Structure 1
Amino acid sequence: MSLKPKEKVAIFWFRRDLRLHDNAGLYYALRSGYQVVPLFIFDRNILDDLEDKKDARLTFIYEAISKISNELRERDADILVKYGFPVNVWEKLVEDYDIAEVYTNTDYEPYATERDKDVYRILKEKDIVFKTCKDQVIFEKQEILTSQGSPYTIFTPYSRAWKEKCNGFYLSSYPTKKYFRHLYKLKTDEMPSLEEMGFEKADYNFPSDEVSANLLKNYANERDFPAKEATSRIGIHLRFGTVSIRELARHAHEHSDTFLSELIWRDFYQQILSNFPHVGKGEAFRKAYDFIQWRYDKDDFKKWCEGKTGYPLVDAGMRQLNAIGFMHNRVRMVTASFLSKHLLIDWRLGEAYFAQKLLDYDLAANNGGWQWAAGSGTDAAPYFRIFNPASQAEKFDPKMEYIKKWVPEFGTYEYPSPMVDHKMARERCLKAYKDALDKANK
């Protein structure tokens, strides 16, 4: 059994911030004046929906929590690890512990927002203070506004304003380790095993949490070529907070403005999700695009999912995704455009498929990227921008190294013919989009 503190404590609740260093909420908890009990909840509301019992993301989280536990034990502390529905877990925690305050870092996704409201109500009944902190972004919600006081909906002016406001203060790390003496000397049971939660460990070689200066030096020139190892693969670490966004932004600021721009895109999509919550509930950012008459062709969707469209760059991307839970960003744009515009299949189906497969899945970025590709999102470009998968392959995989790696049968009789003609698909898409916008404007 856990040794329960007799005195009042603060609890720090880990979520998308699985690290001890430079952690905003943990820092404020450690400076609260109370001894701090760290907590993580394996949330059944999320886990019960996972079909893959060897989901690599869960293995990644489990290993990150184990690392935190090991680091804490070196300081005679530990982390409480619970498995269940957060509301039920908190109902028991407020009975078992004399809690003065609860600290956590803000999660901007719709489910997380509703979950935190439910937990807030439980804590409020016991007069327990619930404090959320900004940690996973540099600027959140309405910290960056237009001169009219409204949120930005176009990236370029947002990026300009972001850079004007950003300074050393916003990129400074939180010195958590200075205050580790305020961790409660907690002795806990062993954390529940993956097997006890109904899962198995995934055998996966996760990407490094470091981004080399050399990679950043060449990033602007090489990042669009999927055959090159020229992207950071840092997405899963940002998703679960095993790296600090402040440290990464400082590193980018020093070595690559292009990479910094990618981090700003991440902030941009998070503030879009916060200020326009309808995008997180399956609606188009620009609502006129909800009038599009999508095709619902299960066979076509299946071919796209399996990478059997007859367009080699699309197929290579989908097979890479299915095999390793990652897809090169340039190819993400091409595959998303192909589904929503060439096949005229609802982007939401593609968004859901990516959510199921991507190790670095992030609702704000995934939704933002899909709506950008579908033309229904924040992007200022007109809807008639339609990627030609063949010319994209010629430009970004000229030696067909990426394609041959993931589509080894390309060039043989086994490889299928294109499932749709590019010219016909483009004309069909333009008509469907025009009809939808005409209908919306009536």
Structure 2
Amino acid sequence: MPTSSTSPDSSASAEVSLQLVWLRSDLRVHDNTALAAAAERGPVVVVVTPCYPQWRQHGHGANKLDFLRRGLHVLQQALAGYHIPLKVIDCDTFAEIPEVLAALCASLNVAALHFNDEYAINEQIRDAAVRRRLADLDIRLHHYTDMIAFAPGELLTGKGDYYGVFTPFSKRWHKDLVARRLKLAPAPGVQATPLDPHGQAIQGDAIPPLPHDLPVPVDASLWPAGEDAAQERLERFMTFRARRYHEQRDLPATRGTSELSAYLALGMISARQCYAAVLAENGSLSDGDVGLTAWVNELIWREFYQHILIGFPRVNRHRPFQRHTEALAWRDDDAGFDAWCEGRTGYPLVDAAMRQLTSTGWMHNRLRMVTAMFLTKHLLIDWRRGEAFFMEHLVDGELGANNGGWQWAASTGTDAAPYFRIFNPTTQGERFDKDAEFIASLVPELSSLPAKRRHQPSDEDRHACGYPRPIVDHKAARLRALDAFKALSKGN
């Protein structure tokens, strides 16, 4: 839905009102609010601003950037089927975008710019600068709520504050939800090729290659890019796994999740499309099949974290949501951090999970909690180091969800796990990877052992398999973490 517009529409009476659509984390043609709204007003040109160096400053690594680049190629091909050219502004930083966008608008005689809102603080600053620059040119600007159902500020507590706890937010979300918020936007019609002010057909631009100094990304076949690939994953999930989601989502050896997080992060599929699939199967987002409603709950968590970015901007700036945890005495332990990163902590489930991340660009959600809690509680290492390592490797890295998950595990965030909740990684493995299949697949040095011994290899097993001893004792580490949090409570 449109949220506001600025500048008078000086070209409203023009015979041809060229509409420029700026796509960012919404790389799709179907159910794209900004694209649909622009197509209703006149011929459309789409522009993207990859800004690879800026993404790298924000911590994104080769896996996310390669997925982005491949997604842009797929998007360009899809838009061509509608005669919509894709212009590419290849700049290094967000700070450059207002001026180059203004120049593009001037060169094409653009009547209006359309985009879907983003909520991280740097993106908010960028968009405000674009708004000011285009106002100078009397170019009308339209922005829309698209990635979430409710714009930040629409759902507030009785005191008028942003929700800082998920459950009441979710209840309010369901209570206030009406059908129009989930209505899918139509794809644009096939248009005549748009012309520039000189009467020449507007041509698309080449997608820039990735920076040459990036590490080699994971196998692209693990993450085929584009909205068709996303729709295929959604259909496969709904057909085979969705109704058992609540039973299988915590089992890393089973493909029990939707595997759509990377596509949602770059908007190759919308949350609305996911909700529509659930409604087609279940008729409700809040009642009925427990597997489907459990998955809907996870989608609402993603929206909740976008509201947190706006309502509590300190989390954008590497600050804890829980202010009193600023004083927590984190340990400097580079050797422990390296062992965690490289999957050689001596705890099989932790090591398997970390190797999954570095080899595939993704980690199962249950394991994200286990590994994050191991780093922050067992090793008492600052959550921000782990958050950054995840962002560097995740193909689905996104500030709201990644920050929210890390702060939850570290007991510094919204709905934070109580500081005394410290997962035992061995019993977590025995519970959720009962036969140690996942461990065997990613820690092959243990694969010859019986399942029970894969979870708890003896010193003799470790020596024979070349697998390290635990870098920290669970009981001792737990007591150390409890003491650190208790000291924090006393100090405040």
TM-score (norm 2): 0.83
Contact 2:52-2:211 within 8 A present in 1 as well = no
Structure 1 unpaired stretches of 5+ = none
Change (3 A) 1:173 1:335: same
Pairwise mapping of residues 26-425 of structure 1 onto structure 2 (< 5 A)?
26-31=35-40, 33-47=41-55, 49=57, 55-84=62-91, 85-177=96-188, 179-181=189-191, 184=194, 186-194=201-209, 203-205=219-221, 206=223, 208-209=229-230, 210-211=233-234, 212-213=237-238, 214-253=240-279, 254-255=281-282, 256-379=292-415, 381-410=417-446, 411-413=461-463, 414-425=466-477
Q: 1:139: Cα distance to partner?
A: 2.0
> Which whole-Å CA distance do the structure 2 matches of 1:116 and 1:141 have between them?
16
* SS of the residue 1:236 aligns to: helix
Change (3 A) 1:381 1:194: closer
> Which whole-Å CA distance do the structure 1 matches of 2:416 and 2:397 have between them?
24
> Which whole-Å CA distance do the structure 2 matches of 1:153 and 1:50 have between them?
24
Q: 1:129: Cα distance to partner?
A: 2.1
Contact 2:63-2:394 within 8 A present in 1 as well = no
Counterpart check, 1:11 vs 2:20: yes
Contact 1:388-1:422 within 8 A present in 2 as well = yes
Q: Percent identity?
A: 38
Q: What is the CA deviation profile of residues 51-89 of structure 1, one whole-angstrom value per residue up to 9, with x for unaligned ones?
A: 998x23233222322222223323333111221142342
Contact 1:30-1:180 within 8 A present in 2 as well = no
Contact 1:249-1:260 within 8 A present in 2 as well = yes
Counterpart check, 1:435 vs 2:471: no
Change (3 A) 1:110 1:412: same
Change (3 A) 1:430 1:201: closer
Q: 1:196: Cα distance to partner?
A: 8.1
> Which whole-Å CA distance do the structure 2 matches of 1:431 and 1:204 have between them?
45
Which amino acid in 2 is paired with 1:17? D
Q: What is the CA deviation profile of residues 278-307 of structure 1, one whole-angstrom value per residue up to 9, with x for unaligned ones?
A: 011100001100110100111111001001
The residue aligned with 1:21 is 30
> Which whole-Å CA distance do the structure 2 matches of 1:6 and 1:57 have between them?
42
Q: 1:21: Cα distance to partner?
A: 0.8
Structure 2 unpaired stretches of 5+ = 1-13, 196-200, 283-291, 447-460
Change (3 A) 1:137 1:42: same
Change (3 A) 1:343 1:195: closer
TM-score (norm 1): 0.92
User: Which one is further off, 115-124 or 206-215?
Assistant: 206-215
Q: 1:95: Cα distance to partner?
A: 3.5
Which amino acid in 1 is paired with 2:75? I
> Which whole-Å CA distance do the structure 1 matches of 2:359 and 2:218 have between them?
13
User: Which one is further off, 213-222 or 163-172?
Assistant: 163-172
Contact 1:194-1:201 within 8 A present in 2 as well = no
> Which whole-Å CA distance do the structure 2 matches of 1:425 and 1:38 have between them?
53
Contact 1:141-1:271 within 8 A present in 2 as well = yes
Which amino acid in 2 is paired with 1:46? Q
* SS of the residue 1:176 aligns to: coil
Q: 1:91: Cα distance to partner?
A: 4.0
Contact 1:41-1:81 within 8 A present in 2 as well = yes
Contact 2:79-2:85 within 8 A present in 1 as well = yes
Q: 1:409: Cα distance to partner?
A: 1.5
Contact 2:343-2:352 within 8 A present in 1 as well = yes
Q: 1:412: Cα distance to partner?
A: 3.9
Q: Cα RMSD over matched residues?
A: 2.3
Q: 1:181: Cα distance to partner?
A: 3.3
Which amino acid in 2 is paired with 1:71? A
> Which whole-Å CA distance do the structure 2 matches of 1:203 and 1:307 have between them?
20
Q: How many pairs are equivalent?
A: 433
Change (3 A) 1:183 1:243: farther
> Which whole-Å CA distance do the structure 1 matches of 2:413 and 2:78 have between them?
43
Which amino acid in 1 is paired with 2:43? Q
User: Which one is further off, 107-116 or 141-150?
Assistant: 141-150
> Which whole-Å CA distance do the structure 2 matches of 1:76 and 1:99 have between them?
17
Q: What is the CA deviation profile of residues 253-299 of structure 1, one whole-angstrom value per residue up to 9, with x for unaligned ones?
A: 44500100100111111111111010111000011001101001111
